[in-house]
A = this chain, B = another copy of it.
């Protein structure tokens, strides 16, 4: 059995590993257009502070894949797939497949043509090395895009003594992660930081040779110019769909619960794929956590096993300075007439000093939990409890009844999450 995988990111690399685990005999061939084997893309922002050596992000080396008898070809882009003949073509030759897994990832896009001397994305180890070289103490770097990558990079660069200007197209921070009513506290935290300035609701209209970044207020139309030494562009990504016919795609390559595309024995996983979320809506994948889970499912199915991918929860977290921010499920704007409640509580009972925890909960009008957003200590683990509840179709009533762990130094007797659900219940 010949399994071919295109792309050795988190999705493709994981698929190869699980195909091998599941099938000791299959021939597994993995093509990667870049020069590095599987590494943690999500770790890239942390290299910018100098705390993490970019090369440490490589999680599975070329040797590791060799030992697992996975034939990894680096710097080998796949240029064409013949789905009828079941062949893929590279710059070096061709290869027949029985099962094919497409994990081609995304293109980053910029509001202006990228000149690598002056601008960079933060998608690859080479990008990280490059920005590290440019980001010397006292430099001024403009970051375009205030999503998780932009904010994580901003924090890392400030640690290094770089002055940062964040420019965001939308009117609130982390616009794909938080509803606009949850974002202001992050804004307040960032505003207190030295070396950081923030410009929301502005479009970058152009950038000129001297690194003058021309921006326009999306509300008033007012124009301004920001002069920086370098620009880090983190304003969004688009699935790489070059190798597949339009019939297989929507915004990404459409897959079913086996991660299989409309072509038999052809799977797609990771950021290039599109799957349904818990509301049934088609959803692009932009998270490493989903990429590895899809890699596992596709690797098992492609090698003759049976695995199923549950609907996407989009459980996500980031940490910006001291704020841990997590979310699960769609934004409120992605839900039809949801029941919504918010709650601000403390991490501990009132008689002990605690940290603020903000929770937003969303449910259907019938009370079925469908989304949550949390800011504060333990947000990731708190959101994981919501993810567990949503994945078993729990109601507000059931979730707020769960016996949670209580000890005054650790947690109050009723969690902020529980109280947010009770408020929603009362509204029902």
Contacts and interface: CB of A to CB of B under 8 A. Distances in A.
Number of copies: 2
B312 A407 contact: no
A163 interface: no
Contacts of A310: 401-403
Nearest to A58: B351
Interface stretch (A71-79, A81-89, A316-324): A316-324
A57 interface: yes
Contact of A380 (B46, B351, B401, B411): B411
A404 B385 contact: no
Contact of A40 (B292, B349, B388): B349
A343 to B, nearest CB: 16
A152 B314 CA distance: 38
Interface stretch (A99-107, A246-254, A392-400): A392-400
Contact of A378 (B314, B315, B378, B404): B378
Nearest to A51: B352
A358 interface: no
Contacts of A315: 402-406
A298 interface: no
A227 interface: no
A56 B379 CA distance: 28
A293 interface: yes
A414 interface: yes
A392 B394 CA distance: 8
A319 B407 contact: yes
A409 interface: yes
User: How many interface residues does chain A have, given as a range?
Assistant: 35 or more
A10 B406 CA distance: 13
A293 B422 CA distance: 13
Given A52-B351, A313-B403, A403-B289, A42 B408 contact: yes
A351 B405 contact: no
A389 B387 CA distance: 10
Interface string A32-49: 000000001011001000
A128 interface: no
A349 B43 contact: yes
Interface in A73-123: none
A326 interface: yes
A383 B402 CA distance: 12
A312 B352 contact: no
A244 interface: no
A288 interface: yes
A248 to B, nearest CB: 24
A209 B382 CA distance: 51
Contacts of A293: 401, 403
A317 B399 contact: no
Contacts of A391: 398, 401-403
A385 B381 contact: yes
A270 interface: no
Max count, chain B CB within 10 A of own CB: residue among A152, A351, A380:
A351
A405 B46 contact: no
A56 to B, nearest CB: 4
B352 A46 contact: yes
Nearest to A293: B403
Given A43-B408, A148-B407, A378-B380, 9 more contacts: A40-B349, A43-B352, A293-B403, A379-B405, A382-B384, A384-B415, A387-B404, A388-B388, A392-B394
8 contacts: A40-B349, A40-B351, A43-B408, A289-B404, A315-B405, A381-B381, A388-B402, A392-B394
**Pairs A-B, 4 closest by C-beta atoms:** A381-B381, A317-B405, A289-B406, A392-B392
